[in-house]
Amino acid sequence: IVLLAYLGCVEGLELTPRFQHTMEIVNGELCVFGGKSNSTGTNLSDFLLDYRCVDVTTPIEQRRPNWKMQSSASRFAMPPLAQQSSVYDRGNHIIVPYGGQTPNTFSKANHLTVYCSQFQAWGASNILDGVPRRYLHTAVVQESSGDMIVFGGASDSTTNNQEGARWLNVNRMVLDKDRHVAHMRALGRPVQGNVTVGSFNTDDGDPTPDAIISIIQHASVLINDTQMVVLGGSLNKHKEAVAVDLPFSTVYVYDIDKLTWRSQPCTGDIPLSRSVFASSLYKNFIYIHAGVNTSDWSTYFDDLYELDTIKWRWRKMPTPDAPIPRYAHQMKTLGHYLIITHGFLENQTGDANIYFYDLTKQAFVSQYSPRGISNKELDVAWLVKATPATNGIMSVGYILVLLIFLIAMVYLAKEA
């Protein structure tokens, strides 16, 4: 029992259906955390406090995948969040959740809580978090600089901040000082003398285009590690007091090195306007899936579109055996698969299945296979392979943990 607790995993569990969660591919596992099950409230009981993973180095069935819960990374070890963003900084092997709704009994911490994939545990980081919390925003990470680029979103009573505030500009948080400084110098730009991990600044380049000022519930996808493509989302028309979903006939591209915006017209099969959809990148193609029309919250989508970012042309993809319409779900690219989890359905929280869209077959398939997917994509290239020597070291570690536990029990017995 002690060893199982130390390993911190309980396998064969069905993942609680959820929405407003985030998802990352880490250490050869597809990991889901945060979100809510059925409630839209902000009591602690409304938030899901489990960190669950499924092994993507082996085949996975669509129905009843073999989820495991990492006990060491669940319950109160992880922050209770919903509608947050997250990025995975491969350089430091950390998942950085940002913003999101938080329980109304929680006070805001002054440091971000991050997940360290090396130790498979959450912990308070040295990343300062001194700005007001937001949600309904997006965040991407630039691998070359280690900077997290945050755009859009809102702050209100559910984030313990001012009511109805909107975020207008592009913000940048430094996750790795050394990479940030080296990248700025390579660009020939001055480096602020007081820059540190957690530095959070507003970019001083082009102003945000009028068409997307105060945007929420959109998607941002980073291509070529420099171009952030902003798609869809909604704006509030205050006079009419209604939300308006933006058209996909134009997307907005922000160069995060040159600090410039441009509007990019698109052609082809233009998707219907929507928000709270899922997005992901494969080669030079951006994919968007499902979503909802937020002007009435009654028009749900189950379609899949591809945007060629060279020709800037949309294409509606064939979707045989597609999952039912949903929004507030997640989609990630792994090899030639688009992997989709959860979301809010027409009258309930999403199901516990994992859906796999095979881009080579252009169809949803009932099983995923890791064949042909690189170790880098699986995020296992950096892991130390098990050898008799490393197994021996781990065994010694387990024995030491057991001895410490036994000594503690003896001590407590004497004290009693």
Put the strands of the sheet holding 250-255 in their side by side order: 219-223, 227-231, 250-255, 260-265
The helices-and-strands tally (H runs, E runs) of the chain is 4, 32
Dihedral angle sign, alpha carbons of residues 264, 269, 275, 280: negative
pLDDT band for position 365 (50/70/90)? Answer: very high
Q: Which amino acid is at 22?
A: T
- pLDDT (0 to 100) of residue 148: 97
**Helix, strand, or coil (residue 391):** helix
CA 292 to chain centre: 19
37 Cβ contact partners less than 8 Å away, ≥ 6 residues apart? 16, 17, 18, 48, 349
- pLDDT (0 to 100) of residue 350: 78
Euclidean distance between CA atoms 99 and 85, whole angstroms? 7
Closest CA to 253 of 199, 289, 216, 211: 211
Closest CA to 148 of 208, 81, 90: 90
* 276, HSE (Cβ side, Cα atoms, 13 Å): 28
Give the Cα-Cα-Cα angle 208, 212, 214 (nearest 5 degrees): 90
- Tallying the residues shown for the chain, one arrives at 416
Residues 307 and 251 sit within 8 Å (Cβ to Cβ): yes
- pLDDT (0 to 100) of residue 260: 98
Q: Which amino acid is at 229?
A: V
What's the predicted TM-score (pTM) here?
0.88
* 111, HSE (Cβ side, Cα atoms, 13 Å): 10
Closest CA to 161 of 85, 79, 214, 104: 104
- pLDDT (0 to 100) of residue 238: 57
Residues 212 and 252 sit within 8 Å (Cβ to Cβ): yes
pLDDT at 239 over 80: no
Mean pLDDT of 176-181: 95
> What are the CB-based long-range contacts (under 8 Å, 24+) for 222-226?
222/140, 222/141, 222/142, 222/149, 222/256, 222/281, 223/281, 223/284, 223/286, 223/309, 225/142, 225/143, 225/144, 226/142, 226/255, 226/256, 226/257
* DSSP at 403: H
Measured between alpha carbons, how far apart are the two ends of the chain, in Å? 23
Mean pLDDT of 235-244: 71
pLDDT at 28 over 90: yes
| Window from 154-163, 288-297, 340-349, 391-400 with minimum mean pLDDT | 391-400
- pLDDT (0 to 100) of residue 249: 98
- pLDDT (0 to 100) of residue 118: 85
Dihedral angle sign, alpha carbons of residues 108, 111, 117, 121: negative
Sheet strands (E) in 157-259? 165-166, 170-174, 200-202, 219-223, 227-231, 234-237, 242-245, 250-255
**66 burial via Cβ count (<10 Å: 0-12, 13-18, 19+):** middle
pLDDT tens readout for residues 83-131: 999 999 999 999 999 999 888 777 666 678 899 988 888 887 777 777 8
Residues 120 and 72 sit within 8 Å (Cβ to Cβ): yes
Residues 35 and 82 sit within 8 Å (Cβ to Cβ): yes
